[in-house]
Chain A
Amino acid sequence: MNTIVSPFLRRGPNARDMMTGMLACLTVATVHFGLRYDAQFPARYALYLVLASLIDIFYVLLKDGRLALPRASTLVTAALLVLSVPARIPWWQIVAGLLVAILFGKRVVDPGALRVNPMLLGRLFMMLVFADSIQTWLAPGAEIDALSSATPLGLQASEGVAYSPLKIWMGDIHGDWEGIYAILPGAPGEVLPLLTLLCGLVLYMLGILDWRSGVMYIAGFALTCVALDMPLGIHLAAGATIFTAVYIVTDPRSMPGSKFGRLAAGVLAGALNAGIRKHGFYPEGVVLAVLFVNLLGPTLDRIAFQGRAYLLRRRAKARSQDSVCVCGMP
């Protein structure tokens, strides 16, 4: 009772509302993927969320010796991870990724000064250890046959052939290319960029997401694409570009908090991502680009803090010099 201190008003969402909003949007994406491409996926998604909760509960039980509800942010991390890897990846590989993301990314790294996106940490682990299966986009229900398969972005990377960006925006990804590659949707989270963008808009309106890093990510990405002479249309639509702008670079804990920091980190992540797509081994490059920017986060925040104080001091100095003649003691 006596701990209530001013202000006595609260505005905007609290932490739990924020996580619930994110989870709701990610679940919408899951349902969409289930309806259009893989009817099994929503059930798998739900199962992985339960597994993630169990990992979280188990961790608290081991560490503090008590049973506690899993943190809502753990579920968001798990949902993001599941949505960013192939839908039919073996379940134990996902569990390994979840273990790394939740135990190392969230529980161990979280309280420290090192701020990295836990989901990306888990995915990085999967990329390194299960390099093969994380790049294999199997046709749902089908085994590998005469045809090889590729996502629109993979096709662009290997053959230099652009799939219609408009179709990708609408999530309409199927068919084959020259009878060699079956064209398949990518990770469940990235197959309908339009829906993702819409969800991002709603989350922004609800005060859950900040626009700065997402918008600047797209800007930095687009500019670098143009500068490096990459086809902009397909790169914006395909791969996880929009998914990253809405869900990954907006992750509050791992990105800088200050406005300047967010703008700078957004541009940097976008530029790096485009650069990795052009010259790197992975056709996508989100994980490496964003993780690198995460490491710069505290530094960017520090620069912003010092910079603001410097501007304030300079203003005070300028004012005290001319206020002598403007105001002046009578």
Chain B
Amino acid sequence: MDAGINRCRVAPIVQTGAAVAEGEIVAQGESLAMHASVSGVVERADAEQIVIRRGLAPSTVSALKETSCPQNAADLARIAREMGLVGMGGGMFPASVKLGTGWQIHTLVVNAVECEPGIQIDEALILHDTDTVRSGIDCVTAALAIKRRVLVVKRTAANHIGSFAASCAADVLTMPNRYPAGAEKLIVARLDGRMPPAGLLPVQCGYLVLSVASLWAIGRWQLYREPSILRPLSLVTPSRPTRNLLVPIGTALSHILNTYGIGYNPEAHLLVTGGLMMGARATPKTPILKGTNAIFVQPILRRLIRPEEPCLLCGACFDVCPLNLHPIGMVERIKSGRRSPALATQLDECFLCGACSAVCPAEIPLVQYFRDAKRGLRA
């Protein structure tokens, strides 16, 4: 097992050669802990990776032994830190930070939208592990004294997930089937009646948005005292129906591909973790992270390797931008180096959904320009 831990700013606390048990803390950071997802011997432990060779559990199992439910916000934030919870919708933002802001939260938003095409893990969790998800919702609601719960689903899933909302006394908000309907910002805009300005987190407006997978992880804690060591994810391949799996965090992709007999040819296939829209390219060696909500094996589309052409000004990017920004206007200004307050305002607003890149007939990688420019602005 190996775990990509550098993205969560944690440092290993185990030595090479030490024996660890499943659920034991192997790395600690300011806002979360990381746990061994399998028992075995530590082969490597440095700032980049902790590699555990699977083996027998040592006799001294020091898994977390918490008995009481979280009583208040601080308690919940502490538990999130101890169990190593991050935003499991894909953002991987440490949940303890979100829960510990101290803002008055009036609404818990259960995000089951999964607008990225092909992913269905949140839906599967609700349908097949209903009690765990519900206990996660109950736990958060009780700890934060939240008045209102809202289940957000996409239109196609509204029928069969709706009854779940009734069983946990939640309102249902139906979002269109269009990417990126599941973005926090757009959901809060629908609930609040207006778009939250750039830089304002949903929690600062009183909305706590958690994905179904995060609530499921809290439910696992609540029911089994299990830290965040398992990752539910969708395995999407072109030739077979989508599978929904429960995988120990840190498992290499090659292991999963071999287990399910999925042929992967680097020349012809694209291996992607996360969604096809916002995800990242992976190799068979890539480990499953806490935010990896799906694995895609796709044939490489010809359009993906076509070079960038001059803009046609067809306006497709203007039409798809969920925030009504001016994507190609921004790219033109970025390319020519014309920085202006107007450009900065629009860049701040953009949350890099990539819808503009997906429709561009000239294959301009708009979202890459925005990503680079955002970094440049911050530096």
B325 interface residue (CB < 8 Å to A): yes
Chain B, range 241-266, C-beta contacts under 8 Å to A: 266
B300 interface residue (CB < 8 Å to A): yes
Is B316 touching A207 in the complex (CB atoms < 8 A)? yes
Q: With A8-B272, A327-B206 in contact, is A308–B326 under 8 Å at CB? A: yes
Name the CB-closest residue of B to A12: B359
Is B368 touching A5 in the complex (CB atoms < 8 A)? yes
Residues of A within 8 A of B194 (CB): 315, 319
Q: With A8-B296, A11-B358, A17-B361 in contact, is A312–B312 under 8 Å at CB? A: no
Residues of B within 8 A of A13 (CB): 361
A128 interface residue (CB < 8 Å to B): no
B181 to chain A, nearest CB (A): 15
CA distance A243 to B362 in the complex (A): 26
Question: Which of B26-34, B169-177, B274-282 contacts its partner?
Answer: B274-282
CA distance A193 to B362 in the complex (A): 31
A3 interface residue (CB < 8 Å to B): yes
Residues of B within 8 A of A259 (CB): 315, 318-319, 324
Residues of A within 8 A of B328 (CB): 257
Is B314 touching A6 in the complex (CB atoms < 8 A)? no
Is B359 touching A210 in the complex (CB atoms < 8 A)? no
Is A306 touching B270 in the complex (CB atoms < 8 A)? no
CA distance A257 to B194 in the complex (A): 26
Is A257 touching B278 in the complex (CB atoms < 8 A)? no
CA distance A294 to B103 in the complex (A): 51
B349 interface residue (CB < 8 Å to A): yes
- Interface residue range, chain A: 35 or more
A255 interface residue (CB < 8 Å to B): yes
Q: With A4-B304, A327-B103 in contact, is A10–B358 under 8 Å at CB? A: yes
A313 interface residue (CB < 8 Å to B): yes
Residues of A within 8 A of B363 (CB): 14
B91 interface residue (CB < 8 Å to A): no
Q: With A4-B281, A252-B313, A258-B318 in contact, is A9–B345 under 8 Å at CB? A: no
Contact of A312 among B102, B311, B314, B345 (CB under 8 A): B345
B379 interface residue (CB < 8 Å to A): no
Most B Cβ at <10 Å: residue of A8, A210, A262? A8
Contact of A330 among B103, B326, B342, B367 (CB under 8 A): B103
Is B326 touching A305 in the complex (CB atoms < 8 A)? yes
Give chain B's interface secondary structure class: loop
CA distance A313 to B195 in the complex (A): 12
A317 to chain B, nearest CB (A): 8
Residues of A within 8 A of B100 (CB): none
CA distance A316 to B301 in the complex (A): 40
B-contact 0/1 string along A114-147, CB 8 Å cutoff? 0100000000000000000000000000000000
CA distance A170 to B32 in the complex (A): 73
Chain A, range 260-314, C-beta contacts under 8 Å to B: 262, 301, 304-306, 308-310, 312-313
A74 to chain B, nearest CB (A): 14
CA distance A1 to B283 in the complex (A): 13
Chain A, range 32-86, C-beta contacts under 8 Å to B: none
Is A308 touching B312 in the complex (CB atoms < 8 A)? no
B104 interface residue (CB < 8 Å to A): yes
Name the CB-closest residue of A to B365: A5
Is A326 touching B359 in the complex (CB atoms < 8 A)? no
CA distance A309 to B340 in the complex (A): 10
CA distance A214 to B373 in the complex (A): 34
CA distance A4 to B326 in the complex (A): 24
Is A257 touching B277 in the complex (CB atoms < 8 A)? no
Is B329 touching A305 in the complex (CB atoms < 8 A)? yes
Is B312 touching A8 in the complex (CB atoms < 8 A)? no
A7 interface residue (CB < 8 Å to B): yes
Residues of A within 8 A of B337 (CB): none
Is A258 touching B270 in the complex (CB atoms < 8 A)? no
A160 interface residue (CB < 8 Å to B): no
Q: With A6-B280, A8-B270, A252-B312 in contact, is A323–B305 under 8 Å at CB? A: no
B357 interface residue (CB < 8 Å to A): yes
Is A326 touching B315 in the complex (CB atoms < 8 A)? no
Is A327 touching B361 in the complex (CB atoms < 8 A)? no
CA distance A177 to B277 in the complex (A): 63
Name the CB-closest residue of B to A310: B342
Q: With A4-B281, A5-B365 in contact, is A11–B345 under 8 Å at CB? A: no
Is A305 touching B342 in the complex (CB atoms < 8 A)? yes
Chain A, range 2-28, C-beta contacts under 8 Å to B: 3-15, 17-18
Q: With A305-B326, A309-B346, A330-B104 in contact, is A8–B197 under 8 Å at CB? A: no
Chain B, range 168-200, C-beta contacts under 8 Å to A: 194-200
Residues of B within 8 A of A329 (CB): 102-103
Residues of B within 8 A of A257 (CB): 311, 313-315, 318, 326, 328-329
Residues of B within 8 A of A10 (CB): 301, 303-304, 358-359
A320 interface residue (CB < 8 Å to B): yes
Chain B, range 332-379, C-beta contacts under 8 Å to A: 341-343, 345-346, 349, 354-355, 357-359, 361-363, 365, 367-368
Is B314 touching A210 in the complex (CB atoms < 8 A)? yes
| Given A8-B296, A328-B104: 14 more A-B contacts, CB < 8 Å | A1-B305, A4-B270, A4-B300, A9-B117, A11-B358, A11-B359, A14-B306, A210-B315, A255-B313, A257-B311, A258-B326, A305-B329, A312-B197, A323-B204
Which residues of B does A touch, CB under 8 Å?
Answer: 102-104, 117, 194-200, 204-206, 266, 270, 272, 276-281, 296, 298, 300-301, 303-306, 309-316, 318-319, 324-326, 328-329, 341-343, 345-346, 349, 354-355, 357-359, 361-363, 365, 367-368
Can you list 23 A-B contacts (CB < 8 A)? A1-B266, A6-B280, A8-B279, A8-B301, A9-B276, A9-B358, A10-B303, A10-B358, A15-B309, A111-B310, A256-B313, A258-B315, A259-B319, A304-B326, A305-B326, A308-B342, A308-B346, A309-B342, A309-B343, A315-B194, A319-B197, A320-B197, A323-B205
Which residues of A does B touch, CB under 8 Å?
Answer: 1, 3-15, 17-18, 110-111, 115, 207, 210, 212, 252-253, 255-259, 262, 301, 304-306, 308-310, 312-313, 315-316, 319-320, 323, 326-330
The 8 closest A-B pairs by CB, nearest first: A316-B197, A309-B342, A7-B354, A257-B313, A252-B314, A309-B345, A7-B277, A15-B361
